[in-house]
Amino acid sequence: MPLLAGRKGMCALELATPRNKDNCCTIGSPAIAGLSSFPKWSQSAVLAGDLILPINYAMNMTITNNSVVSFHYTLNDADGKLLDTSAGREAFAYIQGQSMIVPGLERQLEGKKAGDSLLAVVPAAEGYGELDPSLVHKVPKDRFGGQNVEMGMQFQAGSEEGGQMGVFTVIGVEDDVIALNGNHPLAGVTLHFNVEVINVREATKEELAHGHVHGEGGHQH
Ligand SMILES: [Zn+2]
């Protein structure tokens, strides 16, 4: 097979799925699907074999609506304080255009492709929102039913009618009054994302219907 000139008899599928050698070079086998999460070295294999050019196309696919994107990221605030990172975990996967990540990051990822790195600075308004002072409340301590209330603790609060009002963080403790902040902990924060795009592919019909990613970095059902 002329799939991999210069790689001494190994074919692309064998390289990509070493535990599935029976299917090596069998176009249409499940092994081909395994190439969608290609390692970088498979690029030369792809370029060498016209049979699998559609995969080469997928590698250069840019992020647009309904792309399934996986990426690694580190999130810092403007002072460089680490807020979150995907390091040591699976790459994070989402569907572009479905508001699954903060709008400012989604917008800055548009048009990027696998292998791209970027620093995306996202103002609070395009991140977790500006601080809303009306979500800061002072509540009598007896409303907590004798619990020991400390700074930084979080409480799920409900309205009298039983509706959810969200999560509140304790930002002040006085003798008989507790100050609660119902803003997202990252509200008002300018987000600095260092992003490396790992993979870009089209979402399947099933993923679009379910509204989430299947497989690596997503749902396993
Ligand atoms: Zn699903």
pLDDT value at residue 40:
41
Cα 209 to ligand 1 centre (Å): 8
Query: What whole-number percentage of the chain has pLDDT above 90?
Result: 59
Cα 75 to ligand 1 centre (Å): 27
Secondary structure of residue 107 in the 3-state scheme: helix
pLDDT value at residue 59:
61
Mean pLDDT value across residues 211-216: 93
Q: In which domain, by residue range, is 145 found? A: 133-181
Mean pLDDT of the chain: 78
Q: Which residue has the tokens 């810092």?
A: 76
pLDDT value at residue 144:
87
Total structural domains within the chain? 3
pTM for the whole structure: 0.64
Per-residue pLDDT reduced to its tens digit, 5-46:
233 333 333 333 333 333 333 333 333 333 333 344 444 444
Cα separation, 82 vs 77, in Å, equals 7
Confirm whether 193 is domain-assigned: yes
pLDDT at 48 over 80: no
Cα 208 to ligand 1 centre (Å): 9
* Domain CATH for 201: 3.10.50.40
- Pair 164, 158: CB distance under 8 Å: yes
Exposure of 72 in the CB half-sphere (CA atoms within 13 A): 10
Confirm whether 71 is domain-assigned: yes
Cα 63 to ligand 1 centre (Å): 21
Cα 65 to ligand 1 centre (Å): 18
- The answer to which of 2-6, 66-70, 121-125 has the lowest mean pLDDT is 2-6
Confirm whether 215 is domain-assigned: no
Cα 107 to ligand 1 centre (Å): 24
Cα 219 to ligand 1 centre (Å): 6
Do 80 and 8 reside in the same domain of the chain?
no
pLDDT value at residue 27:
33
Cα 210 to ligand 1 centre (Å): 5
Per-residue pLDDT reduced to its tens digit, 84-128:
999 999 999 999 999 999 999 999 999 999 999 999 999 999 999
